[in-house]
Amino acid sequence: MNIMDNIIEFKNWQKRLSAYRMALSLIGADQTFGAPSEGSLYRSQRTAVLHGEYIKAFRDEKMYDIISSLDRLSEEELSENMAGSGYDAGDLKRELDLVLKQLDKEKAIPAEEYVEFSLILDKSKEGWLKAKKDEDYKSYAPFLQDVIDGYKRITSLQNSNLGLYDRMLDDHQPGWVQAKYDIFFNDVKERVLPLVRNRRTNGGKDFLTCKEFPAESQRKIMKKVCELIGFNQSWGRMGESEHPLTTFICKGDIRFTTKFRPYDPSQAILSTVHESGHAWFGHNVDPLYEGSIIGSSISAGFHESQSRLCENHLGRSRAFWEKIWPMFKEEFSEQLRDVSFDSYYKSINTIRPGLIRTESDEVTYPLHILIRYELEKDFMEGGLKASDLEDAWSDKYQEYLGVRPQKPSEGVLQDMHWPYAYFGYFPTYALGSAMAAQFFEAIEEELDPAELIKADRYTDIMAWLREHVHKYANRYPAEEILRMATGKDFDDRCYFRHLESRYL
């Protein structure tokens, strides 16, 4: 084959892989949206087979040789051989580099290891849902230990010079390993812990806990919120699940879920706005990158920066709540009869240490992540076992937030990340929050987000993000796009400025 034939073969190979990913994503979305539990064993077995086929196609030796030969060419050489093809040499070079890095890292892992781990993972997911419902961590601990051991085994087989946990961190946010995260989380301890330990309630009231807000009424509100934030039914769907998440099928098909809490409707709204940030990112990626590794390998921290920006800087803003308050007050007239807008808004932006990460305020949120980061380090590279994790979790919450779980669902079983083997992912939430603050400072230099929200022009903010962030996907490293959009390297001081200005 000549060079152009190899390029076409490479492009067609990526298209085949994207078909596998789409199928697996649809199966995952179906499971999240509530597939019947009696079919779980059959689904797990067949999903494992499909995942094995994907791994086999990804590791095709012929393709590895083609990719290696193309990657040895310079961008100029590729450009000369691609004249008139419609392909961009810079894009192709980035694709080749990303794919080859992933192949070199994973090719030493036998495909059967992935198939076996896929079965372990499906058992873990089902076991977690049942254990959380039954408030029984002890019954779930063996499942989690199997997931931890299996993931450690697979990760240890990677071709990498990094330590075990550093590999997991780097998988989700390239270049970010313990040495960098330790510095960042030390900053969190120095700047955020004093805010929490000397906390001011900011005038908020705990008046919601004694009033029930029916889920059906919340669903009506959510439809209007989705209209406000521009989440369009033609390219997305919103559902419900135990743990909110977003599943990217393709640019025109993005699913996310929310959860309705009976005693605090603001949580479902903030959750929806958060997940819509992920959805907007996927929807705004340049169509040229759809189906390629550039479009499908956006780093977790970078993705979280967009969801945290939408949730914290837009969804928690006064302008946003002033916009939805009339419909809120109308739908919940009885529950909010004696509640003023100011009282309700202050309740949303109050420092209130609690047990549930997804329901936490902005200030305590990074401490929830710090706890998980320290625990992950301990059970990945230390001596902590899954059987001891519940007590270790409770001790950390007592240390950092002054609260202690009374049941597993508000403690170690609250998140789906570890049951789903998302190890090394949690730190990206805090990192994403810090990046979000830096992006938002840049937005405010050009736009007035509050006035845009008041004028029903929320999508203008998404348009700014599309042009400066979203359209690039993984065309450039995350920190390079951050620098391009904001004019400076990563600076967590933006994050602490935001927290202190809002909560002091």
Strands 253-258, 246-250: parallel, antiparallel or unpaired by DSSP? Answer: antiparallel
Report yes or no: 250 and 236 within 8 Å, Cβ to Cβ. Answer: no
User: Per DSSP, what are the bridge partners of residue 236?
Assistant: 254
Report yes or no: 214 and 262 within 8 Å, Cβ to Cβ. Answer: yes
Residue 484's pLDDT is: 98
Q: Compute and round to an integer the Cα radius of gyration of the chain.
A: 23
Residue 443's pLDDT is: 98
What's CA 3's distance to the chain center, in Å?
38
Residue 202's pLDDT is: 45
User: Per DSSP, what are the bridge partners of residue 248?
Assistant: 254
Contacts 24+ apart (CB under 8 A), 40-44: 40/122, 40/126, 43/122, 44/118, 44/119, 44/122, 44/123, 44/126
Average pLDDT over residues 110-130: 90
Tokens 């419900």 sit on residue? 240
pLDDT of residue 208 exceeding 60, the answer is no
Average pLDDT over residues 96-113: 89
Q: Which of helix, strand or coil describes residue 289? A: helix
Q: Which of helix, strand or coil describes residue 166? A: helix
Which amino acid is present at 143? Answer: F
Between the CA of residue 439 and those of 35, 56, 275, 492, 503, what are the distances in Å?
A: 38, 40, 18, 11, 20
Residue 241's pLDDT is: 82
Residue 210's pLDDT is: 65
Q: Which of helix, strand or coil describes residue 39? A: helix
Q: pTM score, two decimals?
A: 0.91
> What are the structural domain ranges in the chain?
3-122, 178-503
pLDDT of residue 201 exceeding 60, the answer is no
Least trusted range by pLDDT, from 58-62, 85-89, 342-346: 85-89
Residue 45's pLDDT is: 86
Average pLDDT over residues 45-57: 89
Residue 40's pLDDT is: 81
pLDDT tens string 133-149: 999 999 999 999 999 99
End-to-end CA separation in angstroms for the chain: 65
Residue 44's pLDDT is: 81
Cα separation, 346 vs 470, in Å, equals 32
Confidence category of residue 177, pLDDT binned at 50, 70, 90: very high
User: Of all residues in the chain, what percent carry a pLDDT higher than 90?
Assistant: 77
Residue 243's pLDDT is: 75
pLDDT tens string 422-474: 999 999 999 999 999 999 999 999 999 999 999 999 999 999 999 999 999 99
Task: Report the half-sphere exposure of 16 (CA within 13 A, side-chain side).
Answer: 16
pLDDT of residue 214 exceeding 50, the answer is yes
pLDDT of residue 204 exceeding 50, the answer is no
Residue 218's pLDDT is: 94
Ranges of H-type helices in 382-477: 389-401, 426-446, 449-454, 458-468
Residue 310's pLDDT is: 98
Sign of the alpha-carbon torsion through 372, 280, 490, 450: negative
Q: Which of helix, strand or coil describes residue 384? A: coil
Residue 206's pLDDT is: 58
Residue 106's pLDDT is: 83
Residue 82's pLDDT is: 85
Between the CA of residue 218 and those of 329, 339, 344, what are the distances in Å?
A: 12, 18, 16
User: Given this structure, which CATH class describes domain 178-503?
Assistant: mainly alpha
pLDDT tens string 483-498: 999 999 999 999 999 9
pLDDT tens string 293-347: 999 999 999 999 999 999 999 999 999 999 999 999 999 999 999 899 999 999 8
Tokens 């009696």 sit on residue? 38
Closest to 268 (Cα-Cα) out of 244, 233, 294: 244
Confidence category of residue 200, pLDDT binned at 50, 70, 90: low
Average pLDDT over residues 26-48: 82
Average pLDDT over residues 477-481: 96
Sheet holding 253-258, edge to edge: 236-240, 253-258, 246-250
Residue 41's pLDDT is: 82
Report yes or no: 33 and 237 within 8 Å, Cβ to Cβ. Answer: no
Residue 207's pLDDT is: 56
pLDDT of residue 223 exceeding 70, the answer is yes
Cα separation, 117 vs 158, in Å, equals 15
pLDDT tens string 246-273: 989 988 999 998 989 888 899 999 999 9
Confidence category of residue 209, pLDDT binned at 50, 70, 90: low
pLDDT tens string 335-350: 999 899 999 999 899 9
